[in-house]
Structures are given as C-alpha cells and as structure tokens.
Amino acid sequence: MMTEGLKRYSLGVTDWYLMEEGLKVVVAHLAGKDKERRYYGTFDYQGGRVFIKSFLEAGFAGRIRHLFAPRGKREFAIGNRLAALSIPTPAVLGYGIGRNSSSIIEEYIEGQSLLDAIKKTSDRDTLFSLLAGLLAQLTIKHVRHNDLHLDNVLIRGDKLYLIDLHKTKVKKYFHEDDEVSNVTHALGIIYDDISERERDYFFHVFGCSETVRRRIEREIATLRKEWVASKKDRAFKNTSLLKAHSGEVRIRDSEEMAHGEFVATLKKDKKVRVDRFSDHIRKVYRHGRRLRTAWRNHVVFKYLESAAVPRPFYVKLPTLFSSGYVAMEDLGHKGIELDRFLDVSYDGMTYPEKRRFVQELSLFLGAIMRQRISHRDMKACNIFTLHEGGFVLLDVEDIVFGEVEEKALKRMLVQLNTTVPVRIAVRDRMRFFLKLTSWFKIDRRRLFGDIREESLACEIVYEGASGLKKERWH
C-alpha cells in the first residue's frame, strides 16, 4: 500500500496516520467515539471540507479482522489504488486505528447519491449512460466493488465517484462473475422501478451480450430476495433505522410520536383489534406470528423508503398478560377505503375523472407488483384512497415479497373485482385490467377469461357508505 507522506499521531486510544499535520485538529473530534456503533462526520479544513467515517469491530470475527486488516486502513489503501487507476473516488487523507475501531479521513464530495439523482431527475438517460460508463471502466480496470448499490455512487456535476471502498478488490484476472456482480448490485435497488426502454438503453450503452444481461436479471431477482430477507431478519434488532428496548422496537425518527390517549375501538374480530388514539392507530394482534409478520413487512417498506403502507412508529411485543400491537399513523382524516370511495363518489365522476382515477390506481398497483410485492387479501377495503391523490395498502401482514406469479395476480384481481360496487362500468374494469397487466408478459386474453369466470361465480361484497353491501352480477 502507498504510505509515502503519512505521519503517525497518537490521540487518546487511536493512532492516526495522516497526510498533513493540520488534520490532527480535525481528527481530535473523534476522541471518545470508539465505543459508538459507527461514526460519520464532515469538518471544515483549509477552505474545504473533509469526511470522517469510523468502523466498530464487534464479535470474535470482527476482532480478528481488526487485528490483521482494519477496515479504515484497507479503505485508505484501496482509495490510493483506485486513484492510480484513474477511477474517480474521494481523495484519501489518512486513517486511524483504535482498540476495536478504525477510521478513514478523506475529501468530502459535495454531491448527491446517484440513487437520489435518478429518482429526482427527468433526464434519466444521461444518468444511466454515466453509470454504464463507470461500470464499463471498472470492468476494464478489473475493479470489483462488492457493495455497489447506488448510494455508494456520488454524482457531482456530470462526474460519478465511488465511495465505501473497504470491500473493493482490484483483481489480476477479471471474470464474468465479477462484471455481473458490479452490474447486479448497481441496478438491483432500482431495476423494478425503471422502464423496459430504460433497461434496453442502459444495456446498449454498457455493451454486454444478451446472455450476460439475462444472467444479470436473474441475479437481480435473487439479490432482491436476499435483501428483503436480511431486512426482515433485523426487524427486531438495533440498527441504524431501529431502536430495540424493553420489548419494544421503534423507528428511530419517531421517538416523539405516538404517545396520545385512547379515543375509541374502530374494529374488533378474531384476529385483530384496531384502536384509535389521539395521535396514532394501534393494531392489536391476537396471534404473535401475524404481529411479527406485519412488523417485518413494515420495516422492509421503511428501508425501501416507500409510502405504500401506513407509516409505522413502533411495535410492542406480546407478553404473558398482553397482546402485541403495531403503532402507526392514523389515516382516518386523509382519505377513505376504495370500496367506500367508489360507492360514494363514482356516480358523480365525469368520464375524464373516471379515466384518470383508473389510470392512477393501475399505476400504483403496477408499481407495487413490479417491485415483486403482492397482497394475499386484495379486497377494495384494503386499498386506502387518499383525498390528496394516491393510495396506501392496508393489512400489511398480508403483503408478500416475491415474484408476482400469474396465479397470485389472478387471485388479487378476482378479489378486487368482487369487492367494488356492481355498477362500476365494464369499460372501467377493462381499462384497469389492461393497464395493470401491461406490466406482465402473460396471455392476457386467457387471464381475463379466467378472472371473468371466477368473478361471476362469486357474490359481490363490499363496505358501502351505509354499511356492508351484498350484490349479484347483472
């Protein structure tokens, strides 16, 4: 590794190896931080800013790794190596090694993550072109990042920078597995949210074969499945998102929320009780398994930064004497369930308003399904229609993460078709079906016939403005 120009300074329990003596004042801010899980900070330095990140090593494996290859030191080494290969990364300025922690100090890049940029811009083709160019450069230079999600790519102007380098390797021999790994991790978090045209454009610029593309797409599906499983596995542990304490797990940005007084019980059956409090809703589960499933699903949506389900605040785990519950936002004043909305509003909507509503609903559900998310109880009462526009899925415990197969799609559409008023026009039902299923490579004529046959065999049951309604098909 390159160590020319590094000088050693001992500050507390940490030995720092710095390119410039003036950085001693900056790293002094880390005194006493050795016991924290991880530390991130930016500091003014000589008219610019520097960024410091620390790694805390826990457990036996972590201690051994720290003894032989501290992550801060490794990131410093690989940063120098990539700079020599002309791979754009923040300039590394030094590293520190403590008892059970290590740190890296580097140039601060005033930019945004490529993931945020893609979500916010209308010129996505330019960003996909830049990403394809960066990935092609990594292939040429034999660089495998090993954690190349798009929050680890920063964009400033028209230039991309790689960050979070401690898992990165520069390999003597670079194989298809290495190339597939880089592209899979880069596209994995956004692939379900980009159009087929954007996918084709990216792979055209990147320049891989159809065989490699198909392999990448299979790996993306596997990666997504593993990612969901890992988030569910951490749903009851202390993480950067969650704080677990005394039988309660709370979302870290909601500590001051959901402390109001009881108002009323809204629903009670054999499975759940829904209570309204002055500033939140509590869904109390009779069975701990459904409670844990609901909370795990809430956590996955939180990691996805998705507003497709009610915002969760915390989960209270069951005890010997009490049932557990999930505390979440109260949507009551923000809208109404889809079946009640249609019963109240459909007849008064103009033709363009009906077309627009069908379009918005199909786009919402299509986006959910493209992310490999389905609902085992897709009744209209489990789709909440917001007054301001948009929708939210209810009964989070019935949400399933995984490829939406044709059987599940048919079940959901039959459920939805038989839980809205019979007077919803056939043309609107057809328009919804055609728009939603355009996302899927299926025999739509056959699927429509199956849905029609199963729907006609069922009674229509929904919650209307005046209560439960049962209707027959005309």
**Is 35's pLDDT higher than 60?**
no
Residue-range definition of the domain harbouring residue 168: 112-233
User: What is the pLDDT, as a whole number, of residue 4?
Assistant: 58
For residues 352 and 438, membership in a common domain is answered with yes
Contact 277, 263 (CB under 8 A): yes
**CA separation for the pair 414, 402 (Å, rounded):** 20
**Is 187's pLDDT higher than 90?**
yes
Task: List the structure tokens of 146.
Answer: 């090993």
For residues 116 and 228, membership in a common domain is answered with yes
For residues 31 and 123, membership in a common domain is answered with no
For residues 381 and 262, membership in a common domain is answered with no
User: What is the pLDDT, as a whole number, of residue 125?
Assistant: 94
For residues 324 and 345, membership in a common domain is answered with no
User: What is the pLDDT, as a whole number, of residue 5?
Assistant: 73
128-177 pLDDT per residue, tens: 999 999 999 999 999 999 999 999 999 999 999 999 998 999 999 999 99
- Number of domains the chain contains: 4
Q: Return the ∠ at Cα 393 (arms to 391 and 395), rounded to 5°.
A: 155
**Is 32's pLDDT higher than 60?**
no
For residues 353 and 387, membership in a common domain is answered with yes
User: What is the pLDDT, as a whole number, of residue 1?
Assistant: 42
Domain boundary among 202, 233, 264: 233
Q: Which band of pLDDT confidence, cut at 50, 70 and 90, is reported for residue 31?
A: low
CA 80 to each of CA 90, 132, 155: distance values in angstroms, whole numbers, following the listed order:
10, 23, 20
Q: What is the CATH number of the domain that holds 255?
A: 3.30.200
User: What is the pLDDT, as a whole number, of residue 62?
Assistant: 64
User: What is the pLDDT, as a whole number, of residue 136?
Assistant: 95
Domain boundary among 233, 257, 292: 233
User: What is the pLDDT, as a whole number, of residue 360?
Assistant: 96
Widest CA span in the chain: 85
Domain boundary among 328, 346, 371: 328
Q: What is the arithmetic mean of pLDDT over 269-287?
A: 95
For residues 44 and 71, membership in a common domain is answered with yes
Contact 369, 362 (CB under 8 A): no
Amino acid occupying residue 458: C
User: What is the pLDDT, as a whole number, of residue 2?
Assistant: 45
**CA separation for the pair 89, 83 (Å, rounded):** 7
299-333 pLDDT per residue, tens: 999 998 899 999 999 999 999 889 999 999 999 99
